[in-house]
Amino acid sequence: MKIVKLAIALAILAGLFLVSKILFLAVIILAVALIALGVWIKGGGQSADASVPTSLDGPDFRTYTAVVPDSPLKLKHFISQPEEINVSSSLIMGESEVVLVTAQATKYAAERLADEIEDTGLELTYVYLDHAHLDHSQGASVLIRRFPNAKFVGAPNVVKLQHLRMEADDKMARSRYGKNAAVPSVPFEELDSDSLMLDGRKIELWHDQFGDVGIGEPDEPHTVMYIPDLKALLPTDICYWRGHIMMGGSTSESRSKWKTQLHEWMKMDLEVVIPGHVVRADSDEMTAQGVLEFSLKYIEDYEEVLNDSETSDEVIDRMLERYPGMGHVSALKIGTFIQFGETHRLLFNARIEKVARFLPKALLRRADRKMFDSKKAAANF
């Protein structure tokens, strides 16, 4: 009997040994497969270093002079390269001082802008942040080094949002712009005022306006500048010129307020409107009314297509049909993926999308929703 018991015990031990070996092997195979999958997925991402312009296309600047007699004010409009997503900056210049609106998205764009500010020979007093999106704030990391005496300011609610988003913005800037990333973020200071003075001339600040929204709340604050001496309006990302507009987290209610603003501004006697993003190839044809009309029509078209489409791909395809060959397509895609809560597609990785196609739809929707909620919670109060 003893021998039988011993034989059974030995057989169990041998069995356990064999099972543990197989389990061990299975764990190793699984780990290798996961690493290989990770490497494969990583290879499907877009190259961030493509944001570094290899050559500069066309002049960066266009200058406007004051329409009010004896006013010394001038405005220079700078547009970054297409790889740097066509971001507008405005230099409002007086006799001895200059104010900059929008610090640019990337390192090289901010350096070129800083060279231009230096060449004016004027003192940079303020760098103004009109809304808390990284493509308008990151360049501050270059500018603060070049102009340590300038004040980096924005409306209190805009600045609070910028502070909240700094870490995520730096991460996003690195992944989007690679070695052209302007990091680390510079915390702007709160300026609680409805105006700025420049060599004794007044610049009006209109706060809490409605404009483009990424992952933010629909009423994300934008400040619009109005310069009476130039009859110039600087609505930045409330208007674009000939490029797809980021509709992201906007709702029909916020879009209605957005459109009302545009209608109101159309009634003003404006000489200049500087939109937040300008497709450079079309910048010669840009006019004040043209910018307002284009932006309004685009929002109306997007709403019509959105209300009549089932999927994000349908919205994107139909907008591309309505605006064939138009630039800034990334804004259309990002905005539409946000509208549909398709968070995994915001990574712009074709291989992740391939893997996602094999997942059950309910599981993918749940994962997307979870990622979306956590991203939104991190980026908003």
Residues that bind Zn ion (CB under 5 A): 135, 237, 276
> Which one, 125 or 223, has the nearer CB to Zn ion?
223
Helices assigned H by DSSP within 48-196 = 107-120, 134-137, 140-146, 156-177
- Beta-carbon contacts of 31 under 8 Å, excluding residues fewer than 6 positions away, are none
Question: What angle, rounded to 10 degrees, do the helices at 329-339 and 312-322 form?
Answer: 150
The tokens describing 263, both together, are 């209608």
> Which one, 89 or 125, has the nearer CB to Zn ion?
89
> Which one, 94 or 275, has the nearer CB to Zn ion?
275
Decide: helix, strand or coil at residue 277: strand
- Edge-to-edge strands, sheet with 151-154: 61-65, 74-79, 88-93, 97-101, 123-129, 151-154, 189-190
Least distance in Å: CB of 324 to Zn ion? 23
Least distance in Å: CB of 325 to Zn ion? 21
> Which one, 135 or 368, has the nearer CB to Zn ion?
135
Dmax (CA) of the chain: 116
> Which one, 126 or 240, has the nearer CB to Zn ion?
240
Least distance in Å: CB of 330 to Zn ion? 11
> Which one, 105 or 186, has the nearer CB to Zn ion?
105
Instruction: Match 């957005």 to its residue by tokens.
Output: 258
Least distance in Å: CB of 277 to Zn ion? 6
End-to-end CA distance of the chain: 75
Least distance in Å: CB of 315 to Zn ion? 20
Least distance in Å: CB of 85 to Zn ion? 7
> Which one, 135 or 170, has the nearer CB to Zn ion?
135
Structural element, H or E, at residue 5:
helix 2-42
In 165-231, DSSP assigns E strands to 189-190, 195-198, 201-209, 222-227
Least distance in Å: CB of 339 to Zn ion? 17
Least distance in Å: CB of 214 to Zn ion? 9
Residue 308 vs residues 189, 212, 304, 341: alpha-carbon distances, Å: 43, 21, 6, 17
> Which one, 97 or 237, has the nearer CB to Zn ion?
237
> Which one, 66 or 143, has the nearer CB to Zn ion?
143
CA dist., res. 297 & res. 283, Å (int) = 18
Decide: helix, strand or coil at residue 12: helix
Is the bond preceding residue 184 a cis peptide, omega within 30 degrees? yes
Least distance in Å: CB of 335 to Zn ion? 11
Residue 192 vs residues 161, 207, 221, 359: alpha-carbon distances, Å: 15, 10, 14, 50
